[in-house]
Structure 1
Amino acid sequence: MGLGKTLQLLAFIAWYLETTGDDAESALVVAPVSLLDNWQVELRRFFADSLAATVLPLYGDVLRARKLRADEMDHETVMSGVKGLLRPGWRGNAKLVLTTYETLRDCEFGFGRERWSIMVCDEAQKIKTPGALMTHAVKAQNARFKIACTGTPVENTLADLWCLFDFLQPGLLGPLGQFCSTYRRPIETHTDEEHAKLDELRRLIAPQLLRRMKSEVAELPPKHEDAECRRLPLSSYQRTLYQQAAHAYHAAQRKKEEAVSSAAGRGNPILGLLHRLRSICADPRESGTEPARSQALAEHRRLSPKLDWLIARLEAIRAHGEKAIVFTEFRDLQVLLKHRVCEHFRIPVEIINGSTKVGAEAGDGSRQARIDAFQRRPGFGVIILSTTAVGFGVNIQAANHVIHFTRAWNPAKEDQATDRAYRIGQTRPVHVYYPTVHAKDFVTFEAKLDRLLAGKRALAQDMLNGSGELDASEWRGLQTPDGDSIATDLLLTPELLTRLQSEAFERLCRLRLVRDGHMASLTPKSGDGGIDVVAFRGATGVLVQCKSSSRQPRLGWEAVRDVVAGAEVYRRQHPNVTFTLVAATNQRFTDGAEEHARQLSVELWQQTDWLSWLAREAITMDDIS
């Protein structure tokens, strides 16, 4: 958040290494890959070469050189499916290892053999999910002193906070089930105990907590939010596209088969509509995907009020010789904006997103090198960044104008993005813009989004109140230009159940466990060990392997096999938890699969079970979107 945490932590690590001397154990820093370049920049800038010489950046080409190839491992290891083994002595003489969360997860055994003096988790919300392999790999490290750095300790629920403290001081907040019943449930459901439990929780974590606000530690220049850009008039072309999108949605809703197909394909048809309305407001195009480069800039500006405003605002910024950051996560829009800005201003414009390379091996094309070049370039400049990929962990104080061309679903992520410029080292007033398309006769998508985010931002001022991502249920009352309300609560029917695709079905399985009182989470899409849903309640847990199909009426025993195989990893990770194994499908299992399940003590959730459960529980597609 621009408070100098990286420098402070490096100073602490350097102090430990210098005062302990040759007996010092190595320190470990784990961070998203986009932050690691910045850690190295701070090292080179503020510390002696002797410290930088003992740093091992274990990612990219350096990591590849230190991993064992398959032909270097014994046959038994290869056949067991173990991957990511590091070479013996991989650390060498390094006193500070910098690596990513993904590397730590994939090479857990190699890291686990080391003893670390200090372990730092930067952007520690990456380990907020209990039961995830990444979370377990972090918690499994043998470290004497642990530090978790995050600007958002509670992104969604108080379970995020529990998971961080389970890393820092295991046992302080008790088992997860006990924590949820003691604190999470009364606080998040606003019972009569809410305030007392909040105060109790704050007192409990206070000794382990250092929270600082910019106003407390730095004299920064003022930050201004522009109000005028929040009322950009909807163009007639946008209104036409908006109306067409709403009519198409209503037509699909009226036709049952189309509604079923749409819901099964996307999880919820309202999400498709929201995405379309979002793109129309951002930049109106007929299909929402075709490029607009062949269109004259003047005509494009006439049709797109946000582009027109952007060009005009950048002209004013150029007049003052200042720089601007433009945030949007949509890659086609990033390319389009770059084209228009380059065309109008005749300046180079960089795009930095998740595809931009990191690390020294990328040379001048690396993320940090591009940012450094932008900062050094004198006078007016524009850089386009992805809110999700580059909204944290980089310093761009050369810019003092931050434009959120499209909005994030979570205000905490927007604030983190703004803090790329509004941080220690900034010497000029920072101007923040949220351009919003507005209509006089109805509430547009962007106007409603602006209100929703403002409400969540106000709640998030309390550290223990996560702002969370917006979900489809919060869009009830969304209007069309005709003034009609858009229904958003499509009920999950038996027919829809049989058409659910994998992600929606996994969320349904998770919801079933949550409704049953478990703390449940989805595992990462890759490296899940054959388990899709992990749930805990006290000393018991549930592991679920999900197999959905819209074509096969009966499925074989693969889900049974996978959940049994994947369970071993979680049993080793949680030796005190008794797990129930579940194989789930939205169809039916074959007789052979049922026999395997009986022999292997695996519970089956199949179509008949789901129909019985849905008869008791009213589930909408919003609930699993």
Structure 2
Amino acid sequence: AHAANGMGCVLADDMGLGKTLQAIALLLHLKGTRSPWTAALVVVPSSLMYNWRREMQRFAPTLRVMLYHGADRGAALKKLLEAGGSRGCVTPAGDRPAAKRQRVAAAPVDVVLTSYGTLKAEAKSFVGDQGWSCVIVDEAQTIKNPNAQITRTVKALKAPVRVALSGTPIENKLSELHSIFDYAIPGLLGPLKEFSRQYGKAIEQRQDEAKLHQLRRLTAPFLLRRLKTDKAIIADLPDKVAIDEYAALSAAQAAMYQAVVDNTLDTLAAARDDPDPLKRKESRGLVLSLISALKQICNHPANYKREGAAHAADRVEDSGKMTLLMDLLEPIVAAGDKVLIFSQYARMCQLLQQMLQRSALGVRPLVYEGSMSQKQRDHVVRRFASDPSAQVLILSLKAGGVGLNLTQANHVIHYDLWWNPQVEAQATDRAFRIGQAKNVFVHRLVTRGTFEEKINAMMQRKRELAELTVASGESWLGDLSSDELKDLFALSSDLTQADGP
């Protein structure tokens, strides 16, 4: 209805409810009802482009789709233009003199599919007077920062219909929602400064239900959000069972943990007492650096010390988490089930792969992480889907946490936690989505007696006020007082492996 009236919208359905398919159906509808039809533009993360193309080929084979990505994209576009003529819209900036450029939208196709990176690199090739019939942006949280270049480029695209797809329209703060709406329906939420004054602190800090209700009423006509857990939406989706699995530190981990805490807190105290305001400002960064260091220590000492994966592969017992992981995987592998293992550290992904390959489990894990080419990533996903012996897939949280359909797995293990429920849910929902036939078991690994257990407890006590409530991630930890930080990072030494459970 919004599209028919030349308006935009935000499709914020829970992950796995088919936002891609709904968007493809919209493209088919618009092409069939609008004349003349110029190309539509679909912008997605590079890791999802080939998935989008496959879905279009499957569900909308009548749509002529051009994948505009990769080193040969300029030559491919030129060939299309020469074969089918030009409708007046731009080729890549480097292919021709500025006066003779043609817009990408001139290609004789129905849909141009590109990545955020390509759009950012060739902004002038996409932004012009003629515009597009429709612009769809997937994983729209990519444009959550209103000051980012990619956000400004996306908002400059001209189209009567703008659609934003995101299962997590808010990851950290309400301004992200404002930025997405500013693209889809410019002006609806007013200027950012006024929006933040009226809603920001009231909802984020005071959890003001009246303000939340007011914001919901304002956005509801243009935002569609349905949840997988709502049986009225999908009655046959299996259950999701989340389990906190607790590991103990090894003696080596405990010693390293305590040394890093002591050293960093001393440096932090000095920075906070420094008369130089820049030094005091840097103290917040020290806290966040400490969090990352302690996470890596809890993962495995080799993760923190940057040891080579092959060198550390036989030292499973150095990490309580790694020992716990082996115990968890044994019955999963024996049952013939498949499992996703997430870590936010690429180095830890490599360590996990080497350690599991050398274990007695008899598995050869696949890895999906950011340094891989798109071709390599697609090969990994296809093999995991089709090869029964490919039971374990290790993914970096950033590269594999969004967009992928991995319902072959019915176990998800979060090896290290990112304390933002939205980010964690995105990763979990690679398996817990439409098409899943089994109950999904989510194992969250937490190290006992450490800051991991304490922050996890804080997050469990914090109840989300509503679907628009904001998870603040880890940044709030930088604002804790020195005494609060000492208490948070204090190690309960009696809970290490050396002392027994």
1:99 counterpart residue number: 114
Relative distance call for 1:437 and 1:96 in structure 2 (3 A) is: same
* Aligned twin of 1:337: 352
CA distance in 1, matches of 2:421, 2:104: 44
1:481 is matched with which residue: 469, 491, 497?
491
Give the drift of 1:438: 0.7
Give SS of 2:66's match: strand
- Return the offset for 1:309: 1.4
Q: Is the 8 A contact 1:282 1:405 kept in 2?
A: yes
Check whether the contact 1:276–1:288 (CA below 8 A) recurs between aligned residues: no
Indicate the RMSD between aligned Cα atoms, in angstroms.
2.9
Aligned match of 1:42 in 55, 72, 75?
55
Shift of 1:373: 1.0
Which of 225, 232, 239 pairs up with 1:222?
239
Question: How many Å apart are 1:426 and its aligned residue?
Answer: 0.4
Match 2:431 to one of 412, 421, 441: 421
Structure 1 counterpart of 2:299? 282
Q: CA deviation at 1:291?
A: 3.0
Kindly indicate whether the alpha-carbon contact (under 8 Å) linking 1:397 and 1:426 is maintained by their aligned counterparts in 2. yes
Deviation at 1:266, TM superposition (A): 8.3
User: What is the identity percentage for the equivalent residue pairs of Structure 1 and Structure 2?
Assistant: 34
* 1:222 Cα deviation from its structure 2 partner: 1.0
Give the match for residue 3 of structure 1: 17
In structure 2, the residue corresponding to 1:394 is in which secondary structure? coil
User: Where does residue 97 of structure 2 map in the other structure?
Assistant: 73
Residues 457-480 of structure 1 show CA distances to partners (whole Å, capped at 9, x for unaligned) of: x32x62221213212235733133
In the alignment, does 2:445 pair up with 1:435? yes
Provide closer, same or farther for how the CA distance between residues 71 and 170 of structure 1 changes in structure 2, counting only shifts above 3 A.
closer
Structure 2 Cα separation of the partners of residues 221 and 89 of structure 1: 43
Amino acid at match of 2:334: A
Q: 1:188 to 1:279 in 2, by over 3 A?
A: closer
Matches of 1:256 and 1:172 in 2, distance apart? Answer: 43
CA positional deviation for 1:57: 1.2
Structure 2 counterpart of 1:59, one-letter code = H
Q: Tell me the alpha carbon deviations over residues 47-85 of structure 1, each in whole angstroms, 9 at most, x when there is no partner.
A: 32x32xx101112134343554658436xx9xxxxxxx9
CA contact (8 A) 1:283 1:307 kept: yes
Q: Deviation of residue 296 (structure 1)?
A: 7.1
Counterpart-to-counterpart distance in 2, 1:257 and 1:126: 34
Contact 1:154 1:161 (8 Å CA) reproduced: yes
Distance 1:201 1:264 in 2: 34
Cα separation, partners in 2 of 1:452 and 1:59, compared to 1, 3 Å: farther
Q: Is the CA contact (8 Å cut-off) linking 1:327 and 1:387 kept in structure 2? A: yes
Displacement after TM superposition at 1:41 (Å)? 1.8
* Aligned mates of 1:256, 1:45 — CA distance in 2: 58
Of 281, 288, 313, which residue of structure 2 is paired with 1:271?
Answer: 288
Alignment match, 1:463: 467
Distance in 2 (CA, whole Å) between partners of 1:213 and 1:72 is: 48
Gaps of 5+ in 1: 78-84, 484-625
Task: Give the count of matched residue pairs.
Answer: 452
Q: 1:41 to 1:286 in 2, by over 3 A?
A: closer
Please report how far the alpha carbon of residue 202 of structure 1 lies from its aligned counterpart in structure 2 after TM superposition.
Answer: 1.3
Q: Which has the higher contact order (CA 8 A, sep 6+)?
A: 2
1:396 Cα offset (Å)? 0.4
The corresponding residue for 2:143 is 127
Match of 1:586 in 2: none
Distance of 2:489 and 2:138 partners within structure 1: 41
Give the 3 Å change call, closer, same or farther, for CA 24–221 of structure 1 in structure 2.
Answer: same
> 2:224 aligns to what SS in structure 1?
coil
Structure of larger gyration radius: 1
The change in CA–CA distance for 1:370 and 1:23 in structure 2 (over 3 A counts) is same
How far residue 482 of structure 1 moved from its aligned partner, in angstroms, is 6.8
Q: Specify the alignment match of 2:398 in structure 1.
A: 388
Letter in 2 for 1:129: N
| Matches of 2:468 and 2:241, distance apart in 1 | 26
Q: Which amino acid aligns with 1:221?
A: P
Question: Is it true that 1:213 corresponds to 2:219 in the alignment?
Answer: no
Unaligned runs of 5+ residues in structure 2 are 1-14, 78-90, 494-501
Q: What are the equivalent positions in structure 2 for 1:105-124 lying under 5 Å apart?
A: 105-113=120-128, 114-124=130-140
Distance of 1:152 and 1:264 partners within structure 2: 30
Matched, 1:137 2:149: no
Counterpart of 1:200 in structure 2: which amino acid? Answer: Q
Matched to 2:243, the amino acid is: D
Distance (Å, rounded) in 1 between the aligned partners of 2:265 and 2:209 = 44
Note the 1:323-362 alignment, pairs <5 A: 323-344=338-359, 345-358=361-374, 362=375
Question: What are the within-5 Å matches in structure 2 for residues 225-624 of structure 1?
Answer: 225-227=242-244, 229=245, 231-252=246-267, 268-285=285-302, 288-291=305-308, 293-294=310-311, 297=314, 300-344=315-359, 345-358=361-374, 362=375, 365=376, 367-379=377-389, 381-439=391-449, 444-455=450-461, 458-459=463-464, 462-471=466-475, 472-473=478-479, 476=485, 477-481=487-491
Is the partner of 1:115 in helix, strand or coil?
Answer: coil
1:368-404: CA deviation from partner (whole Å, max 9, x where unpaired): 2210111101156101111112101010011111000
Q: 1-side partners of 2:195 and 2:219: how far apart?
A: 13
d(CA) in 2 for partners of 1:13, 1:71? 29
Q: How much does 1:264 deviate?
A: 8.7
Normalised to the residue count of structure 2, the TM-score between the two structures is: 0.82
Alignment partners' CA distance in 2, 1:16 and 1:343:
54
Residue 121 of structure 1, CA deviation:
1.4
- The Cα offsets for residues 192-233 of structure 1, whole Å up to 9 and x where unpaired, read as xx3332222211111111111112422211111124x1x222
| Structure 1: distance between partners of 2:293 and 2:273 | 18
Could you say what secondary structure the match of 1:225 adopts?
strand
Residue 153 and residue 69 in structure 1: after superposition, are their counterparts in 2 closer, same or farther (change >3 A)?
Answer: closer
Q: Residue 268 of structure 1 aligns to a residue in which SS?
A: helix
SS at the partner of 2:457? helix
Aligned pair in 2 of structure 1 residues 240, 61: CA closer, same or farther (>3 Å)?
Answer: same
| Letter matched to residue 146 of structure 1 | R
Number of the residue aligned with 2:168 = 152
Q: Distance in 2 between matches of 1:432 and 1:108?
A: 41
2:39 aligns with one of 12, 26, 46: 26
Distance 1:464-1:435 versus aligned 2 partners, 3 A rule? same
Q: After the TM superposition, which of the residue ranges 347-356 and 317-326 deviates more from structure 2? A: 347-356
Deviation, 1:110, is 2.2
Specify the alignment match of 2:496 in structure 1. Answer: none
SS of corresponding position for 1:402: strand
Asked if 2 retains the 8 angstrom alpha-carbon contact of 1:263 and 1:269, the reply is no
Check 1:447–1:44 CA distance in 2 against 1; reply closer, same or farther (3 A cut).
Answer: same
Contact 2:451/2:490 (<8 A) preserved: no
Shift in Å, 1:437: 1.3
Change in CA separation of 1:288 and 1:145 when aligned onto 2, cut-off 3 Å? same
Q: For 1:232 and 1:447, how far apart are their aligned partners in 2?
A: 10
What SS does the aligned partner of 1:61 have?
A: coil
Residue 80 (structure 1) aligns with: none
Alpha-carbon distance in 2 for matches of 1:156, 1:265: 21
**Shift in CA distance, 374/262, structure 1 to aligned 2, threshold 3 Å:** farther
TM-score (normalizing by structure 1): 0.67
